[in-house]
Amino acid sequence: MDGFVETLTKRLSLNLKRIHEMGVPKVAVTAMEPLGCIPGVAFLTTGNYSNTCDERINNITRFHNQLLKQNIEELKDQTDGSPFVILDLYAAFMSALNIQYNRPVNGSFAHKMQPCCLGKCGEVDESGKKEYRVCDNPKMAFFWDMFHPSQQGWMAVYSALQETSLPNLLSLSAPPSKY
């Protein structure tokens, strides 16, 4: 797995360099969110929607993000104006979920890891019967379905990014575009 992650992050770095060479003045790169905290992944590994993350999966995610950061730092040294910034989705998700040391703490989401929509979200069978169930209060759910944050979940992630990564993106000084 390590070799795959190394190859992936190096390829991403090469592609980012090409994008910059085309004249793109600023490039935001997202770090991976904590995949071990995604309900679909947690359910597959634990069989339930517990409020804990799968640390084995998160270790892979953290390794990817570490290599990504190293590659971006090397790329910044090779380019004028350091036009690259990493939006740290991992930290933003963990902050929004109020998870510290793999233990959830009190926060605004009642069941952090339980998706609001269960089943085949949005689908109906031939008779028109829903093939899914939606929770009573979607505003209290961080995840909409097995893989995607709800609107409230994304708002919480965005709020966390505003405090960390987004100011770095907005303050980047970059050379004028060639185009």
Asked if the structure places residue 104 within a domain, the reply is yes
Pick from 138, 90, 96: nearest CA to 114: 138
pLDDT tens digit string along 102-130? 444 455 677 788 899 988 888 989 999 99
How confident is residue 170, by pLDDT bands cut at 50, 70 and 90? low
Q: Report yes or no on 176 lying in a domain.
A: no
Helix orientation angle between 55-78 and 89-96, rounded to the nearest 10 degrees = 140
176 pLDDT exceeds 70?
A: no
Highest average pLDDT, of 2-11, 150-159, 161-170, comes from 150-159
Domain count, the chain: 1
CA proximity to 21, closest of 73, 70, 69, 79: 79
Classify residue 175: in a domain, yes or no.
Answer: no
Collect all residues with Cβ–Cβ distance below 8 Å to 53 and sequence separation of at least 6: 34, 36, 37, 42, 99, 102, 113
Pairing, β 117-124 against β 103-104: unpaired
Using only C-alpha atoms, the chain has a radius of gyration, in whole angstroms, of 19
- The span from the CA of 117 to the CA of 132, in Å, is 7
Where in the sequence is the domain holding 21, given as residue range(s)? 2-109+149-170
Is 23 among the domain residues?
yes
What does the buried/exposed string (b/e) look like for 60-83 if buried means 16 or more CB atoms within 10 Å of the residue's CB? bbbbbbebbeebbeebeeebeebb
Structure token pair of residue 165? 């990564």
In a domain, 138, yes or no: no
Per-residue model confidence (pLDDT) at position 179:
40
